[in-house]
Amino acid sequence: MNNQFFPNDFLWGASTSAFQVEGAAYAEGKGISVADLRTKKKNHIQMDTTVTVDHYHHLEEDVQLMVELGLKAYRFSISWTRIFPNGDTKEINPKGVEFYHRLIDLLNANGIEPIVTMFHFDYPMSLIEKFGGWESKQSINSFFDYATFLLKEYGSKVTYWLTINEQNVMVNQPDIMGIEDTDSSELYKKAQYANINMCIAQAKVFSLVEHKYPKLKVGPAVSYITALPENGTSENVLLAKTIEDMFSFSLMDISLRGKIPQQYLNMLENAGISLPISKEEMKILSEGTANYLAVNWYCTTTFRQKDVFDPKKALMENVEVCKSKWLEYTNWGWSFDPVGIRYALQQLHDRYPDIPVLITECGWSDTDELVDGKIYDNKRIAYLNDHIHQLGLSIRDGVNLIGFCPWSFIDLLSVNDGMDKRYGLVYVDRDNFNERSMKRYKKESFYFYKKVISSNGHNTLNE
Element at 130 (helix H, strand E): helix 125-131
- Total Cβ atoms within 10 A of residue 387: 26
**DSSP per position, 322-348:** ---TTSEE-TTS-EE-THHHHHHHHHH
Of 129, 202, 209, nearest to 170 by C-alpha is 202
Q: Which are the catalytic amino acids?
A: 166, 361
Strand, coil or helix: 404 = strand
At position 169, the amino acid (one-letter code) is: V
Of 446, 434, 341, nearest to 390 by C-alpha is 341
Strand, coil or helix: 234 = helix
- The Cα angle at residue 209 between residues 279 and 407, in degrees rounded to 5: 105
Strand, coil or helix: 459 = coil
Q: What is the separation of C-alpha 245 from the centre of its chain, rounded to a whole number of angstroms?
A: 18
Partners of 73 in the beta sheet? 13, 113
Find out whether 457 and 392 touch, Cβ atoms under 8 Å: yes
Phi, psi dihedrals of residue 363, rounded to the nearest 5°? -170, 170
Ordered alpha helix ranges (H), 352-407: 378-397
Radius of gyration over every alpha carbon of the chain, rounded to an integer in angstroms = 21
Phi, psi dihedrals of residue 188, rounded to the nearest 5°? -60, -45
